[in-house]
Amino acid sequence: MKISQRELVLAWGTGLALLLALTYWVIHPRLAAWSELRNYRKAVAEQISYAQRLVDQRPEWVERMDKLRAGVDRHPADRDVTADYLRQLERLAGESKLTLIKRNAQKEKTFGDLLELVIDCTWEGDLEALLRFIYALEQQPTIMDMEELSVSLIAGKDGQLKGNFAIVCLYSRMPPDTATNRPALHPAPTNAAAKTAANPAAMAPVKPSE
């Protein structure tokens, strides 16, 4: 049986198409897996690079943290400082002519050896009073930062503003003094015992005179 050139070309084309289809069917899943693996490697490389930058910056962050710890106030371990910070906040607002409508202190939060007290405030006043208050906060020896400031105009009051802000107070606690609660190993002598120790002859029996 003689195969014509046309049939040979058709058979060759069909075989090539089947080969390409088979190749695509086998290689395509692997190409997808390789692409996913390449993306994963790229993400891991970026994470490693970011972690390395953090490691390289560690001395700088340690120095900044040490300075921050040195500047925070230290309070007794059992003292509630909420009232103290509220009074300080009221004083600064009064000196700046800023009216605090509401003050709501959140629960104290602990971050290692540092503690945070957030006071949510609603305020009213003009722009100058607000700026004076912000400047007064920056000048405080204690760490009191303003966050989440919102400002809007008061309808019907020319130049008067209102809004909200949060005051973040950062401080630490002094370790409890257990030495004052520890019982004395050698109790202090009474007055009589002290006199006896100072003059042992006072305890000698008195010999009656003949």
* pLDDT at residue number 181: 42
For the entire predicted model, the pTM comes to 0.51
CA distances from 157 to 39, 125, 130, 151 (A): 58, 10, 16, 14
Question: Could you report how far apart the first and last alpha carbons of the chain are, in Å?
Answer: 166
The yes-or-no verdict on residue 21 having pLDDT over 90 is no
The yes-or-no verdict on residue 93 having pLDDT over 60 is yes
Cβ contacts of 197 within 8 Å, gap of 6 or more: 189
* pLDDT at residue number 28: 67
User: In this structure, what token pair is assigned to residue 126?
Assistant: 């003009």
User: In this structure, what token pair is assigned to residue 74?
Assistant: 């230290």
Characterize 176-210 residue by residue with b for buried, 16 or more Cβ atoms within 10 angstroms of its Cβ, and e for exposed: eeeeeeeeeeeeeeeeeeeeeeeeeeeeeeeeeee
CB 71 within 8 A of CB 143: yes
One-letter amino acid for residue 17 of the chain: A
* Greatest mean pLDDT range, 67-81, 150-164, 174-188: 150-164
- Residue 77 pLDDT grade (very low, low, confident, very high; cuts 50, 70, 90): confident
- Residue 187 pLDDT grade (very low, low, confident, very high; cuts 50, 70, 90): very low
Report d(CA 48, CA 45) in Å as an integer: 5
User: In this structure, what token pair is assigned to residue 102?
Assistant: 């509401």
* pLDDT at residue number 120: 93
